[in-house]
């Protein structure tokens, strides 16, 4: 889909800001360049970092040096997407843990919030998070959170936000519905994970930022709150976390 069409759809959905998320060093640089070159009526920002799937590909020390240099660009507002993924294990666990800690410490040094990817790995994630947190507060969001209510509570106790996307519109299991219903609006961020995880009504199609409106509408219906109020609250959360 042409960028112009993506932006037009975003404007029609009344989206005024978006963050382009990196998953390795190369496309983190692309995210920075894209957000710089295309920011206009829709204001674009970027997050830089290495996803756990890519952990084995980098020397941690060299990567942190590169990311720190890249962070000086004006459109960089976060470190991410970083974390642990034990579902696919595309990189070995030790490499994932080492890189997570290194990037967390960088976020702390730069005073930047973090976008976390954690899948079936909270048993190792929380100890690393807590260890680094001893040196200073870590602000961030658990991207595409679908885990247990217990880990939701662990996240909320640590002050983290929860990323809600298309998954929330089509889950059916009682425990999943209960978990999503338990996320406080004051800690909810709306995201897409484009081009993946299109919401109900768009399943099977490439996801796009404009579809986040459908996530907001679904959330409003389930919480019995107006779409406008959900949009206002979640936009405020995003602006405060990322300082945009």
End-to-end Cα spacing for the chain: 27
**What is the percentage of the chain residues whose pLDDT exceeds 90?**
99
Measured between alpha carbons, how far is residue 222 from residues 142, 178, 182, 219 in Å? 21, 11, 12, 5
Residues of the chain with pLDDT > 70, as a percent, come to 100
Q: Which CATH class is domain 1-131?
A: alpha beta
For the chain, which residues make up each domain, given as ranges? 1-131, 139-145+160-244
The alpha carbon dihedral of 183, 113, 67, 39 has a sign of positive
Q: Residue 108 and residue 87: Cα distance in Å, rounded?
A: 27
Q: What would the pLDDT profile of 148-185 be if each residue is shown by its tens digit?
A: 999 999 999 999 999 999 999 999 999 999 999 999 99
SS3 164: strand
φ and ψ of 79, to 5 deg: -105, 130
pTM: 0.96
CA distances from 166 to 17, 191, 199, 223 (A): 19, 8, 4, 16
pLDDT in tens, 101-146: 999 999 999 999 999 999 999 999 999 999 999 999 999 999 999 9
CATH superfamily assigned to domain 139-145+160-244 = Metal-dependent hydrolases (3.20.20.140)
Q: What is the pLDDT of residue 1?
A: 86
Domains 1-131 and 139-145+160-244 in one fold:
yes
């Amino acid at each position: 889909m042409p960028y112009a069409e993506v932006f037009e759809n975003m404007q029609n959905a009344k989206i005024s800001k978006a963050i382009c998320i990196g998953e390795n060093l190369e496309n983190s640089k692309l995210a920075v360049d894209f957000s710089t070159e295309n920011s206009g009526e829709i204001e674009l920002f970027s997050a830089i970092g290495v996803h756990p799937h890519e952990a084995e590909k980098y020397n941690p020390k060299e990567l942190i040096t590169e990311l720190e240099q890249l962070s000086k660009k004006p459109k960089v507002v976060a470190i991410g997407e970083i974390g642990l993924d034990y579902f696919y294990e595309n990189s070995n666990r030790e490499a994932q843990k080492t890189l997570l800690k290194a990037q967390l410490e960088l976020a702390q040094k730069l005073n930047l919030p973090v976008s976390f990817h954690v899948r079936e790995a909270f048993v190792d994630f929380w100890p690393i998070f807590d260890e680094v947190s001893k040196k200073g507060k870590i602000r961030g969001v658990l991207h595409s959170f679908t885990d247990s209510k217990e880990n939701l509570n662990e996240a909320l106790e640590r002050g983290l936000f929860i990323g809600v996307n298309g998954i929330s519109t089509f889950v059916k299991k009682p425990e999943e519905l209960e978990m999503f219903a338990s996320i406080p609006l004051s800690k909810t961020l709306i995201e897409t994970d484009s081009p993946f995880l299109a919401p109900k009504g768009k399943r099977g199609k490439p996801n796009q930022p404009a579809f986040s409106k459908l996530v907001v509408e679904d959330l409003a219906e389930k919480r019995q709150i107006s779409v406008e109020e959900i949009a206002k609250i979640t936009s405020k959360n995003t602006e405060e976390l990322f300082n945009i």
